[in-house]
């Protein structure tokens, strides 16, 4: 019997240097796209995929994330007194059930692989998901839910992938591709941030993973890889060929919200679909476009 996917790791210890000065005193995961912080999108996506236990791998200066998913008595009392029921519900819905959320500190930022490894004792011997809040996916069916549906059919390890321009392969984990069937691609190997000339393909990992716990054994070695960091991709590469490992070409649009331009694009895309401000934003974007045409 395949063990069900119940747990998700959210690595949120990163420094957010690409977004300074905004992220000097605020975690990058708290940057809002329209009206929700990035980390909330990731948590909602995990819940929509049936995840029951949330494990945040945090670092110094990330307290705002813990506060975001906790009660805020003063604010809640005030909203109650003012009969602001809608706002109150928005906040109530954020709070995980007791015991369904855990925070663990990554004392040093030593890479994504190290962050995931820090959660090994909380995950134990069962499959788990990893969601990187920087990667925001706009889709009809949430990205991780799509992956869970495929995972329930094929098992093993499944990572979300998309094609990137060849000149960008050095930003991603890249697949050495095997057999393809529809949206599913066998991963024969994986390379972290290869130079465009060395990249085995242009099919690249975006921040959604479903992994088997064996990956922790491969991370135990703590070997630094690309950029001197302990890379999740290197540990996953060691699993290719030993068990099932697939890339899944998800349906939807991915925004790199760790990048300023990607973050702005995400804000526009999500604002356009937002029930209360969508129409207004559309008007503005169209007016900007008209203006730009004239220049």
Q: Which two tokens stand for residue 257?
A: 């919200």
Convert residues 50-79 into a mask of x (bound to ligand G1P by CB under 6 A) and - (unbound): ------------------------------
Segment near ligand G1P (CB under 6 A); pick from 26-34, 41-49, 201-209, 213-221:
201-209
Residue 75, C-beta contacts closer than 8 angstroms, at least 6 positions apart: 91
Q: Count other Cβ atoms within 10 Å, centred on residue 29.
A: 29
Q: Which is nearer to ligand G1P, 231 or 267 (CB)?
A: 231
Structure tokens that stand for 130 in this block: 């990893």
Between 55 and 206, CB nearer to ligand G1P: 206
Nearer to ligand G1P, 249 or 274 (CB): 249
Closer residue to ligand G1P in complex, CB, 123/161: 161
Kindly list the distances between the CA atom of residue 106 and the CA atoms of 57, 67, 109, 111, 257, in Å, as whole numbers in the listed order: 6, 18, 7, 10, 22
**Closer CB to ligand G1P, 79 or 250, in the complex:** 250
Contact call for residue 207 and ligand G1P (CB under 6 A): yes
Closest chain position to ligand G1P (CB):
173
The DSSP secondary-structure symbol of 230 reads B
* CA–CA gap between residue 248 and residue 251 (Å, rounded): 9
**Closest distance of CB 254 from ligand G1P, Å:** 8
Token readout for 176 is 């050495």
Question: Candidates 21-29, 64-72, 229-237, 277-285 — which segment interacts with ligand G1P by CB under 6 A?
Answer: 229-237
Stretch that binds ligand G1P, among 65-73, 139-147, 226-234, 270-278 (CB under 6 A): 226-234
- 131-190 residues near ligand G1P, rule: CB under 6 A: 132, 135, 172-173
- In sequence order, which residues have a C-beta less than 8 Å from that of residue 238 and are 6 or more positions away? 218
First-to-last alpha carbon distance for the chain, in angstroms, is 63
206 touches ligand G1P by CB under 6 A = yes
Q: Is there a contact between 177 and 203 (Cβ–Cβ < 8 Å)?
A: yes
**Which residue matches tokens 């949330």?**
54
C-beta of 31 vs 112, nearer to ligand G1P? 112
Is residue 115 within the footprint of ligand G1P (CB under 6 A)? no
Q: Which two tokens stand for residue 115?
A: 């962050």
CB of 8 to ligand G1P, least distance (A): 16
Identity of the residue, 172 or 216, whose beta carbon is nearer to ligand G1P in the bound complex: 172
Region near ligand G1P per CB under 6 A, out of 31-39, 83-91, 202-210, 243-251: 202-210
Shortest distance in whole angstroms from residue 294 CB to ligand G1P:
37
Residue 131 has phi, psi (to 5 degrees) of -125, 125
What is the C-alpha separation between 11 and 113, in angstroms, rounded?
A: 10
| C-alpha–C-alpha distance, residues 150 and 223, integer Å | 31
Binding footprint of ligand G1P on the chain (CB under 6 A): 112, 132, 135, 172-173, 192, 204-207, 231-233
């Amino acid at each position: 019997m395949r063990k069900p996917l119940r747990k998700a790791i959210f690595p949120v210890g990163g420094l957010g240097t690409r977004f300074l000065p905004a992220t000097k005193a605020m975690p990058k995961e708290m940057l809002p796209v329209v009206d929700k912080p990035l980390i909330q999108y990731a948590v909602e996506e995990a819940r929509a995929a049936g995840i029951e236990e949330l494990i945040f791998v945090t670092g110094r200066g990330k307290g705002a994330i813990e506060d975001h998913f906790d009660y805020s008595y003063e604010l809640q009392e005030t909203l109650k007194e003012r009969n602001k029921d809608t706002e109150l519900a928005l906040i109530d819905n954020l709070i995980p059930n007791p015991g369904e959320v855990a925070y663990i500190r990554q004392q040093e930022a030593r890479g994504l692989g190290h962050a995931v490894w820090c959660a090994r004792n909380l995950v134990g011997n069962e499959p788990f998901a990893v969601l990187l809040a920087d990667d925001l996916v706009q889709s009809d069916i949430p990205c991780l839910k799509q992956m869970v549906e495929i995972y329930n059919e094929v098992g093993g390890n499944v990572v979300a992938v998309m094609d990137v321009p060849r000149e960008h392969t050095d930003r991603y984990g890249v697949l050495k591709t095997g057999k393809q069937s529809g949206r599913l691609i066998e991963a024969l190997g994986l390379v972290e941030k290869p130079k465009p000339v060395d990249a085995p393909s242009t099919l690249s990992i975006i921040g959604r993973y479903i992994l088997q716990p064996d990956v922790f054994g491969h991370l135990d070695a703590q070997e630094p890889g690309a950029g001197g960091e302990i890379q999740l991709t290197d540990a996953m590469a060691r699993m290719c060929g030993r068990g099932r490992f697939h890339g899944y070409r998800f349906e939807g649009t991915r925004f790199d919200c760790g990048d300023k331009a990607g973050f702005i694009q995400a804000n526009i895309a999500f604002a356009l679909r937002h029930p209360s401000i969508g129409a207004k934003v559309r008007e503005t974007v169209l007016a900007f476009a008209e203006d730009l045409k004239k220049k």
